[in-house]
Structure 1
Amino acid sequence: MKNLFFFIALLLTHFTFAQKVDKDIDIIKETLSRQENAWNRGDLDKFMNGYWESDDLLFIGKSGVTNGWQATLDNYKKSYPNTEAMGKLKFNLIKVEKLSKNVALVIGKWHLSRNKGDLQGHFSLTWKKINGTWVIIADHSS
């Protein structure tokens, strides 16, 4: 009988952890969806809400490494000065995985539909739960 109770307790613990993992992944996916919607409204400031607002944020792109939230926003505004340049963004998530309790990895594709020519590439995002909120701490987009 002790073994049965132990087994049930173990299952409940596993189930509770699995639900929390799924909830965290859902939160990350919801954040990406809000970013996509903000981009498609032409609102780069709201798009940046998914990023860690810190000088330690890393953005790695074709031009190299950018350090900091504000520098990343400034680069977006320079590269995409208006809604025509921004086009319509679509994310296609390939993999979303928690690596630990407070760290997750997202791999995906991005596609911009634009009148002057579409752009597309891949990204890897490192997410970290900081002060109870999931944020992107490193973005490598190509």
Structure 2
Amino acid sequence: MRNRLYILLALCLLSMSACVSSQKQPAVTDARAEVRQVLEEQAQCWSTGDLECYMQGYWKSDSLLFIGSRGLTYGWQQTLDNYKKSYPDVSAMGKLNFDLKEFRMLSPETMLVVGKWHLLRDADKGDLQGHFSVIFRKFPEGWKIIADHSS
């Protein structure tokens, strides 16, 4: 009888452990899917030449941080203005693709994403590519990039 009680107790503990871990995993999986969707939408917007649409994936704040080849940029509007200068038309922008390599939850509200970006452009412009790391934060309106380091 005592052995059956121990077995029953062990099964209950295993069952509770499985429930707890299964509750955490969907939250991470859902967050990854939501962040992936933001990046897919950005790639689509970029590829149609719509920078304002592309920028919807970023936190619309003066505290947005962008780090690129020219150094640090602060602010959503300044980041948009820099993109407009660097990519004045659709042919300069090309077609954007992301190859996502890493997703790391930093907290329930923040996620680090690391990947590669590639711009497929006409032969006279030449393709561009590099790596990026972005930090997303979950806001009431969804996941937004709060810091971007692209090379």
Q: Please indicate the TM-score interval, normalised by the length of the shorter structure.
A: over 0.9
Cα offset for 1:70?
0.7
CA distance in 2 between partners of 1:39 and 1:58 (Å): 19
Q: Corresponding residue for 1:32?
A: 39
Cα offset for 1:6?
3.1
| Residue range with higher mean Cα deviation, 61-70 or 126-135 | 126-135
Q: Secondary structure at the match of 2:79?
A: helix
Q: Corresponding residue for 1:129?
A: 138
Q: Corresponding residue for 1:16?
A: 23
Read off the aligned partner of 1:131 and give its amino acid letter: P
Encode CA deviations 1:16-70: one digit per residue, 9 max, x unaligned: 1101100000000011000000001111111011111111000000001000011
Q: Corresponding residue for 2:84?
A: 77
Give the greater-gyration-radius structure (CA): 2
Cα offset for 1:129?
1.1
Task: Select 2:64's aligned residue among 29, 35, 57.
Answer: 57
CA distance in 1 between partners of 2:71 and 2:56 (Å): 22
Q: Secondary structure at the match of 2:25?
A: helix
Q: Secondary structure at the match of 1:73?
A: helix
CA distance in 1 between partners of 2:91 and 2:44 (Å): 15
CA distance in 1 between partners of 2:13 and 2:61 (Å): 45
Which stretches in structure 1 are left out of the alignment for 5+ residues?
Answer: none
Read off the aligned partner of 1:45 and give its amino acid letter: E
Which stretches in structure 2 are left out of the alignment for 5+ residues?
Answer: 1-7
Task: Select 2:129's aligned residue among 120, 123, 137.
Answer: 120
Q: Secondary structure at the match of 2:62?
A: coil
Over the aligned positions, Cα root-mean-square deviation in angstroms equals 1.2
Read off the aligned partner of 1:133 and give its amino acid letter: G
How many percent of aligned residue pairs carry the same amino acid?
Answer: 49
Q: Corresponding residue for 2:73?
A: 66
CA distance in 1 between partners of 2:21 and 2:56 (Å): 32
Read off the aligned partner of 2:133 and give its amino acid letter: S
Q: Corresponding residue for 1:110?
A: 117
